[in-house]
Amino acid sequence: MIRRATRDDIPACARIIADWEAETDYLPDGPGADKIAAIIDDAFDAREIWVSGDPVDGYLSVDPEKNKIGGLYLARRGQGLGKALVDRAKQDRDFLWLTVFAPNTRAFAFYRREGFSLTSRLPASDGEPAVLRMEWQR
């Protein structure tokens, strides 16, 4: 089940992101779920935010003005949730782009399977690894 997020979903989305950051060894320590929730809340009205599950187990944010996927985070991987969320983001669009950390080879392979192509590589900065820009076009 994919649906548009409500503000009530923000804590669950923030927890999914914080958990991912905690298990990722190539990033500095993240800000924690409370600060992430505040960031999501600040951007909520300017974004399309889609969630899966009840309780929420997947989250995707799109900046509709830039056609940019700002984040895709899953509590359960390998079960088709990411594909369903990306498919939803593709609806009514001819173009999307995103960035992915270069060491996140699993995400890179996923986006390739979903039709995204590598378009550029941005160097590492501020203690974070290099970033890959990927684009999808209908």
Mean pLDDT in the chain?
95
CATH number at residue 113: 3.40.630.30
pLDDT over 80 at 49, yes or no: yes
pLDDT reported for residue 108: 97
Kindly give the pairing relationship between strand 58-63 and strand 48-52: antiparallel
Per-residue pLDDT band for 47 (boundaries 50, 70, 90) equals very high
Give me the domain span that covers residue 24.
2-137
pLDDT over 90 at 106, yes or no: yes
pLDDT over 80 at 10, yes or no: yes
Domain count, the chain: 1
Kindly write down the DSSP assignment for every residue of 39-67, as one continuous string: HHHHHGGGSEEEEETTTT-EEEEEETTTT
pLDDT reported for residue 59: 94
Kindly give the pairing relationship between strand 117-122 and strand 68-74: unpaired
Distance of CA 27 to the CA centre of its chain: 16
pLDDT over 80 at 29, yes or no: no
Q: What length does the chain have?
A: 138
14's enclosing H/E stretch is helix 10-23
